[in-house]
Chains A and B, each alone.
Chain A
Amino acid sequence: MVNPQMVMYEEEFNQIQSVVDRLVKDANAKVVFIVDKNGQLIAASGDVDNLDTTSLASLTAGNIAATGGMAKLLKENEFATQFHEGEKANIHIQLVGNRVILVVIFDSKSSLGLVRLRVRKASEELNHIFEALLKKVQEPGADSPFAEITDEDIDNLFND
């Protein structure tokens, strides 16, 4: 197995969600979300109803992947932070533990300095949670719920 499978359990999800919820408030952000490096959305908070988070997640991961590729060419390990400044909205992107990506979208109600400060603290917390999660996933006995699926289950998906 190349990468351990990414698995999210209720306990860790709740921990992550509370970090993300708090970050929205502490950083005066509009939206905060967490994506894994392959572009899968893990958690989101804030004004997400009018936002295409799935697309944003995949583009963020693509962005981090491209930046990581540039870093490699410059013999850097990673560029862990990115900031994009727009007329109204700004995006702060932070790589956490080289594993997941923390994205903060904010407007003029906040500032880059505040976002940076709060992101730093949240990153540390998230790093601990994801480290624990990874250990849990690697423990024996953590079977996939898909171990028992049948050919029929799979075929039924396509009977429309």
Chain B
Amino acid sequence: MSFINYMAREINCKIVYYGPGLCGKTTNLQYIYERTNPDAKGKMISLATETDRTLFFDFLPLALGEIRGFKTRFHLYTVPGQVFYDASRKLILKGVDGVVFVADSQVGRIEANQESVENLRTNLAEQGYSLDKIPYVIQYNKRDLPEIATVEELREMLNPTTVPDFEGVARTGVGVFDTLKAVAKLVLTELRKGGP
């Protein structure tokens, strides 16, 4: 649910990065944080375990610039990917305007990706959203690793509705901003319609 503030002349939108454990959601946010002009970003917050696994969420506020005199601000969140943190994932999806699914391209993670997409669909539905209607993009991450599935295979398994999708290597930044721009565009386009 975006928040339009006529007084401050700004619009705030919430984007959630979803995906199986260790797929690179936090790494996406870290790269965005590192490569963004200090004026355009706030502090990145990571609620993580001692072993740097996301416990609750990561949060990064970004300012993208102005549209028609309104500042556009995006709040980026990640969910904890590990299966047993499902209760936390549901909470973070509240009020979401757009979703990025980060898939792990490794052959050994095919099932984990599929389970996570199903989990995303179920948890969105619980909040009253449909994955088929909400602004949604997919990133096939870890394209630099050996033993990965082809993009065609991943697309067939994870992207039946052919939403925008991108190859990524979040560690070095490949595809990170393309993914973010794509979801931000979809969110803003949705605002034009008066949704979500």
Q: Contact residues of A with B, CB < 8 Å?
A: 1-10, 13-14, 36-40, 42, 52, 54-55, 58-59, 62, 65-66, 68-69, 143-149, 151, 153-158, 160
Contact = CB atoms under 8 A, between A and B. Distances in A.
Interface of B: 1-8, 11-12, 14, 42-43, 45, 47, 56-57, 59, 61, 64-65, 67-68, 70, 72, 75, 77, 87-88, 90-92, 94-95, 127-129, 181, 184-185, 188-189, 191-192, 194-196
With a 10 A CB-CB cut-off, give which of A2, A13, A145, A155 has the most chain B CB atoms. A2
Contact of B5 (A3, A8, A58): A8
A66 B70 contact: no
B1 A6 contact: yes
Top 3 A-B pairs ranked by shortest CB distance?
A38-B95, A13-B7, A2-B128
B188 A146 contact: yes
Given A6-B1, A146-B67, A149-B67, A55 B91 contact: no
Contacts of B189: 151, 154
23 contacts: A5-B1, A6-B1, A6-B3, A8-B3, A8-B4, A14-B7, A36-B3, A40-B12, A54-B61, A62-B59, A65-B92, A65-B94, A66-B88, A66-B91, A68-B91, A143-B194, A144-B4, A144-B194, A146-B188, A148-B68, A153-B68, A154-B185, A157-B65
